[in-house]
Amino acid sequence: MPLLSLSLMSLRNRWITGSLTVFAIAVSVTLLLGVEKVRTEAKASFANTISGTDLIVGARSGAIQLLLYSVFRIGNATNNISWESYRDIAGLPQVAWTIPLSLGDAHRGYRVLGTNRDYFRHYRFANKRRLAFSAGGPFEDLFDAVLGADVAKALGYELGDAIVVAHGLGRAGFSKHDDKPFRVAGILAKTGTPVDRTVHVSLEGIEAIHVDWRGGARVPGKGVTADEVRRMNLEPKAFTAFLVGLKSRLSVFALQRHVNEYRDEPLLAVLPGVALQELWGLMGTAETALTAISAFVVVTGLLGMLTMLLATLNERRREMAILRSVGARPVHVFGLFVIEATILTALGTVFGLALLYVSLLIAQPIVDTRFGLYITIGLPTARDLLVLGLVVGAGVLVGAVPAYRAYRQSLADGMMVRT
């Protein structure tokens, strides 16, 4: 204990440089754990985007492309699926439910998804959680719309407000269906998935706004009013993709093979979990780079501590000489420097952990609102504790460098003959 007391008193006399060292280590530890936290939460949120769906079926392209436009609303399909093929596959005995998805329009930069009420009954996310409404309910009328939480919040919509769907994916859209506006009938609760940034309408609603359109433009001289379109047959001829839930997951590979070999038109069926893992694997390089950068920041903080201890080494030779004169051995001098380094590193990791939680409390609502990523705040994981232990261990090793030099100097000074 005398060495510990001595180390604390020594650090107190050099509290300015000691405090700066602790702060540098704290910031580096916060960055290291923060990057790991964001990476873990992003991966969990990524995997939880869709849950409980056995297959995603779309036009034949690539598994990642199909996943991107059907689940993440990124990009466009190479082709559509005919209604007849959909009815044929949906009617197979092993199929429990299906959710058709029709994409291609937008509203002020947000994707518009045409679907049916099965979407609200069967769509699951984050370990099979159901969609919930914060206001209103599913669409009942032909021109009802259900907004994701982010759409309603960003655009300030409330129940009963009118919205106009437009062609194109830009914020303004190329051409607007302003003769057939939709009415906000429901607003979904926050999910942290692309659902939050989607405007949902019925498949019939998508057909209704396109009855007098051809090739992305209104047919000249052919105008159909909203009242007239209600009396028309609005069964879709084609749409983008559909989700499939099976009665037994044992039949998933058989149905996937059946769809991929479908003869009436080229289709592709993918397992969401496999496609998600494949997509996440493409981002592995960026993930590794972030971890490496944060690790280098920790190394920088430890090198700062090493620099501080080495810089004060010559100034402390008098201190070491006094310790030797009162009976301290070179090994005690070595232990003094190692203990100081351990204290600085330990304090840095503790303050870094505290700074991380403060930062998470501040950033959580901002990240949730801006990026749709909800970061949970809980106790440190076993991995976090392992990282902290490694940082402290690295600090001890770094402290051994000036400790060894002090040991050698102390030994030489003790053997010196003074007159």
Q: What local confidence, expressed as pLDDT, does residue 254 receive?
A: 94
Q: What local confidence, expressed as pLDDT, does residue 398 receive?
A: 80
Three-state DSSP state, 324: helix
- Given a cut of 50, the residues of the chain with pLDDT beneath it are 1, 173, 414-419
DSSP letter string, 229-288: HTTS----SEESEEEEEES-GGGHHHHHHHHHT-SSS-EEEE-HHHHHHHHHHHTHHHHH
Q: What local confidence, expressed as pLDDT, does residue 77 receive?
A: 84
Q: Find all residues with CB under 8 Å of 164, minimum gap 6, and list them.
A: 107, 176, 177, 178, 181, 182
Put simply, whether the predicted model's pTM sits higher than 0.75 gets the answer no
Phi, psi for residue 201 in degrees, rounded to 5: -135, 170
Q: What local confidence, expressed as pLDDT, does residue 192 receive?
A: 80
Q: What is the DSSP letter of 315?
A: G
The full set of domain ranges for the chain reads 2-46+283-413, 55-270
Q: What is the DSSP letter of 374?
A: P
Q: What is the DSSP letter of 139?
A: -
Strand pairing class (95-107; 110-115):
antiparallel
